[in-house]
Structure 1
Amino acid sequence: MIAPRYQALLLGAALALGAAAHAAHAADWPDRPVRMVVPFPPGGATDAAARLYAQHMGEILKQPIVVENKAGAGGEVGAEHVARAAADGYTVLMGALGSLSINAALLDKQNYSFAKDFKGVSVATTMPMAVAVNEKVPATNVQELIALAKASPGKMTFGSAGTGSSQHMAGELFKITTGTDIMHVPYRGSGPAVTDLLGGQIDMVIETLPALLPQLASGKIRILGVTTPERAPALPDVPTLAEQGVKDYSVATTYALLAPTGTPAQAIEKLSAAMRHAGSLPAVQEGAAKLGAQATPTSPADTDKAIQAEIEKWGQVVRLSTGK
């Protein structure tokens, strides 16, 4: 029988060996492919952000980064899958911070907590949104649009990609900020909303640039302003809303890489360093620009700050617009 003091010594030695093995394993990370889960179907903006970075990150980390689409429930299926995955750095999420924050505030029940179950790795891209109207709306700038809305409360309409979408909440924030009453018309995605904007069935949208830019040549829509503090590189002649007097309105679609809480710090830092390296490459910067976005990789700490800011902003918008 082993004496108690020797049992304690053996236990201490085993714990020390375990900790050393864990540290060595973390130092060797990654030693197999990493799954980057996209919670939306292939071809969308989130998927594009993931694929823009994945190839280059794989070359930097010397392991494949495999993009896997797990769509459903407005991004919730993929997000929950990653939140419940092993926190070992081998399953991560490329998500839209706005959508995740809105879902956290809007949904009555979630099987995970966006605020508690994820740690920031790095922002991938930041994409301006824009206020666009159909050609029949007699407004050539945002202040004229606001005046029209105030002249006929509840008569003007704005379309969105669906109830609770980033586009919907961007519209609600516009209403709150400008003191206007504009009717929301939800669609099943950005495509149908923009189609009805072109056809004149709705008056306006606040949409991502990839959904709007291909339609400008038709002359059937006008972009009145962009929603970020700085002008969009893809639309250098279009003023921001702030430049047009809407001082407290700032919205960007931010895509970021997230890891389950508890993921080793070494893995998070290596992933983030690979994101920052990839984001500095001309191929990634040019690829982002083609999407109407900018490559804006960040440190884990700055990513956590971006997550918190989005949670606070959209939580307030949800409360003010729905009373939840």
Structure 2
Amino acid sequence: MSPSMKSGIRRRTVIGAAGAAAAAWSGARPAIAQEAFPRRPLTIVVPIPAGGGTDYAARLIAEPMGRLLGQPVVVENRPGGNDVVGLMHVARSQPDGYTLLMGYCGTMAGRAAIGGTGSVSTADDFVPIGQVSDTPQLFVVHPSVPATTLPEFIAYAKANPGKLSYASAGNGSMHHLGTELLKSRAGIDMLHVPYRGTGETISDLIAGRIQFYMNSPPPLVSLVRDGKVRALCVSSNDPHPGLPGIPPIAGEGLRDLPLNVWFALYAPRDVPAGLRAQLTEAMRASLAEPQIRQRAFEAGSLVNFQGPEEVAQRLRREIGGWREIAAAANIRAD
């Protein structure tokens, strides 16, 4: 055997021994591998097109969470199939903590209540990391509608049954279920027009092709300030602290409509508890930063962190509540 061949064998033997030793050390110290999380960028999947409240919630926490975790957090929009495309992508991803979901109550609770999430169970296939915000919806109309208050709008709708239209992000979305609840409580009739994303909806709202819309404040606040749409009220019993001058729905003759919009961060079901705890703590600390809370407040969103257990309980409770409302209004999945 030549000297070069002997040298190659020795080198492979040394490398093999070192690899075996490293593998043995890794197997003996599993906690160290977990403590190193994260080692690469994380992704928050938004199952809805860019520009809406879900997208806003994801981008609100992405930068501070990435800074606290020591790795970038990237927001990725994966719309399609009434949000099912994004849900399935996250549910089927590796449960390693690197792929997360920004969940919107209209998807997680509303669509789930009508069986509109395909083969994915929002309550069983994901585990909550924490709630980002909990905000009343803003009711707006096109300026051509001769109403400046909710009672005036209801009176106008009653005088023109079936002639007004309202927008939603599809069957089971919060816009859909919430407006159907409003219709039932107020005794009015409006045509439902589903859209694929907030951007398309707002374009048609500004153009006057739809007359009524309810959504979380961030996509609408600037339109109200610019006079492109008119705000009627917020959906809460109490005034919204960030929207002075816009009355609460309780002062407009209706009370206790369960229409608050919430967004929560989720992970695939089998992500280890230790990794989930790290993500929850990074999220909690991010939302405690004054500049993050102020940024949300200026957009009309109210930061309200809730831990995993509270989010899980709320989701199951709201799925049951919306299921009853959907049945009463004969709402089914698309």
Please tell me the TM-score bracket, short chain as reference.
Answer: 0.7 to 0.9
Q: Deviations over 1:262-305 (max 9, x none)?
A: 22222212111111100011221122123321222221111212
SS in 2 for 1:243: helix
Q: Which runs of 5+ in 1 are unaligned?
A: 1-16
- State which of 83, 89, 98 in structure 2 corresponds to 1:81: 89
CA distance in 2 between partners of 1:191 and 1:65 (Å): 24
SS in 1 for 2:256: coil
SS in 2 for 1:224: strand
Counterparts in 2 of 1:21 and 1:92: CA distance versus 1, 3 Å = farther
- State which of 99, 103, 128 in structure 2 corresponds to 1:95: 103
- Matched letter for residue 100 of structure 1: M
Look up the match of 1:49.
Answer: 57
Instruction: Tell me, yes or no, if structure 1 residue 294 matches structure 2 residue 302.
Output: yes
CA distance in 2 between partners of 1:19 and 1:312 (Å): 45
CA distance in 1 between partners of 2:33 and 2:228 (Å): 58
How many correspondences in the alignment? 308
| C-alpha deviation, 1:22, in angstroms | 4.9
Q: Deviations over 1:130-186 (max 9, x none)?
A: 112233333332223223333443333323344443322221121123232222233
CA distance in 1 between partners of 2:273 and 2:29 (Å): 15
Q: More deviation in 254-263 or 181-190? A: 181-190
- Matched letter for residue 283 of structure 1: Q
Whether the 8 Å contact between 2:175 and 2:215 is mirrored in structure 1 is yes
SS in 1 for 2:94: coil
CA distance in 1 between partners of 2:202 and 2:330 (Å): 25
Look up the match of 2:13.
Answer: none
Look up the match of 1:139.
Answer: 147
Aligned runs of 1:12-23 on 2, under 5 Å?
A: 22-23=30-31
Q: Deviations over 1:39-73 (max 9, x none)?
A: 23444432232222122112222333233332222
Query: Identity across aligned pairs (percent)?
Result: 38
Q: Deviations over 1:175-229 (max 9, x none)?
A: 1232322222334433443444444443322233233322234545321110134
CA distance in 1 between partners of 2:187 and 2:225 (Å): 32
Instruction: Tell me, yes or no, if structure 1 residue 248 matches structure 2 residue 268.
Output: no
CA distance in 2 between partners of 1:142 and 1:196 (Å): 21
CA distance in 1 between partners of 2:140 and 2:131 (Å): 26
Look up the match of 1:10.
Answer: none
Aligned runs of 1:192-271 on 2, under 5 Å?
A: 192-219=200-227, 221-271=229-279
- Matched letter for residue 91 of structure 2: A
| C-alpha deviation, 1:24, in angstroms | 5.1
| C-alpha deviation, 1:109, in angstroms | 6.6
Whether the 8 Å contact between 2:51 and 2:198 is mirrored in structure 1 is no
Look up the match of 1:318.
Answer: 326
Alpha-carbon RMSD across the aligned residues, in angstroms, is 2.8
Look up the match of 2:130.
Answer: 122
- Matched letter for residue 289 of structure 1: F
Scaled by the length of structure 2, what TM-score is found?
Answer: 0.81
Whether the 8 Å contact between 1:121 and 1:258 is mirrored in structure 2 is yes
CA distance in 2 between partners of 1:109 and 1:50 (Å): 20
Look up the match of 1:104.
Answer: 112
| C-alpha deviation, 1:19, in angstroms | 10
Counterparts in 2 of 1:237 and 1:323: CA distance versus 1, 3 Å = closer
- Matched letter for residue 182 of structure 1: M
- Matched letter for residue 71 of structure 1: P
Counterparts in 2 of 1:107 and 1:303: CA distance versus 1, 3 Å = closer
- State which of 184, 192, 199 in structure 2 corresponds to 1:184: 192
Whether the 8 Å contact between 1:177 and 1:249 is mirrored in structure 2 is no
- State which of 153, 162, 165 in structure 2 corresponds to 1:157: 165
- Matched letter for residue 84 of structure 1: R
CA distance in 2 between partners of 1:51 and 1:267 (Å): 21
Q: More deviation in 117-126 or 156-165? A: 156-165
Q: More deviation in 29-38 or 84-93? A: 29-38
| C-alpha deviation, 1:113, in angstroms | 1.1
Counterparts in 2 of 1:33 and 1:231: CA distance versus 1, 3 Å = same
- Matched letter for residue 181 of structure 2: L
| C-alpha deviation, 1:93, in angstroms | 0.9
Larger radius of gyration: 2
